[in-house]
Amino acid sequence: MHIAFIGLGHMGGPMAVNLQKAGHSVAAFDLSPLACDKFAAAGLTIASSAAAAVQGAQVVISMLPASRHVQALYLGAPGDSGGLLTQIAPGTLVIDSSTIAAATSQQVAHAADAAGIDFIDAPVSGGTGGAIAGTLTFMVGASHAQLERARPVLEKMGSNIFHAGHVGAGQTAKICNNMLLGILMIGTSEAIALGVANGLDPQVLSEIMRRSSGGNWALEKYNPWPGVQESAPSSKAYAGGFGTDLMLKDLGLAQENAGAVQACTPLGGLARSLYAMHSMAGHGGLDFSSIVQSLQKRADASAS
């Protein structure tokens, strides 16, 4: 199958590589020449533009940062003659795996439908490790028929595929999950920082909590304390992984959604404020687990 892949960032790049490894022919594109060079070196065929990438593709996949990027790509910027939807052949399946507002997914799906194109939302969980290993969890907003059409492609990039509901429902499931993740990373960071301030070894404390009632995904796979888990972004100076500003975007989406349906999400709101302060202190580009730095005692702080 010929697949166009748009957005070769921390997640999209390895996802596209897995599709190629599975035997699909992939035409990939990113606005960043750096990202294109990196994945050309990994063996991907890079197209000269998004419009060139979608020529002859049966499936188009996008993995972009936020709602405005997805809107601009598919619908065009205000004043443009039209977005990528005008270049995609009718009958094509478009899978957007970016985490964006459910309303934006529905807006693009509506425009796609008018052009005879199937557009579904399929945001993911599992981090960069899951993208590389091909073990992502997909949360799909689509009709049953659209999901079954997408399934063979999604299976090459992930191991869990959930049908959340109609278009947009994948995004709603995703922001519920990421609100929980944002909160639990702060809680995990606070607990380790408290133990360390009391002289405990972060490795020993993490293992105790991992196997106790505080056990969670951060302790299993993504420990925020440097040196506890070699594979975690914390042990690589918080480079790569899931950026603080992307977490901030997701917590903002969760609060907007909560406001729209009058849901009560006080911890989600507090978590958003804490990541916003962390970002404003200059850490927006670091992995979100670097929030621990805002919660730990500085080595040079005088003990009083």
Give me the residues that bind ligand NAD (CB under 6 A), please: 6-12, 29-32, 35, 50, 63-65, 69, 72-73, 98-99, 124-125, 127-128, 241-242, 246
Residue partners of 6: CB distance under 8 A and separation at least 6: 12, 28, 29, 30, 50, 53, 60, 61, 62, 63, 64, 73, 84
What DSSP letter does each residue of 9-74 carry, written as one string? STTHHHHHHHHHHTT-EEEEE-S-HHHHHHHHHTTPEEPSSHHHHHTT-SEEEE--SSHHHHHHHH
Phi, psi of 295 (to 5 degrees): -115, -5
Give the residue numbers annotated as catalytic, written as ranges.
174
Shorter beta-carbon distance to ligand NAD: residue 9 or 134? 9
Question: CB of 221: closest distance to ligand NAD in angstroms?
Answer: 11
Question: CB of 304: closest distance to ligand NAD in angstroms?
Answer: 39
What is the spatial distance between Cα 95 and Cα 98, in angstroms, rounded to a whole number? 9
Question: CB of 135: closest distance to ligand NAD in angstroms?
Answer: 12
Question: CB of 265: closest distance to ligand NAD in angstroms?
Answer: 19
Shorter beta-carbon distance to ligand NAD: residue 154 or 205? 154
Question: CB of 50: closest distance to ligand NAD in angstroms?
Answer: 5
Question: What is the torsional sign of CA 47, 49, 54, 56?
Answer: negative
Phi, psi of 153 (to 5 degrees): -75, -45
Residue partners of 291: CB distance under 8 A and separation at least 6: 185, 186, 189, 224, 244, 274, 275, 278
Shorter beta-carbon distance to ligand NAD: residue 12 or 268? 12
**How many residues would you count in the chain?**
304
Shorter beta-carbon distance to ligand NAD: residue 128 or 296? 128
Shorter beta-carbon distance to ligand NAD: residue 53 or 205? 53
State the residue number with the nearest CB to ligand NAD.
9
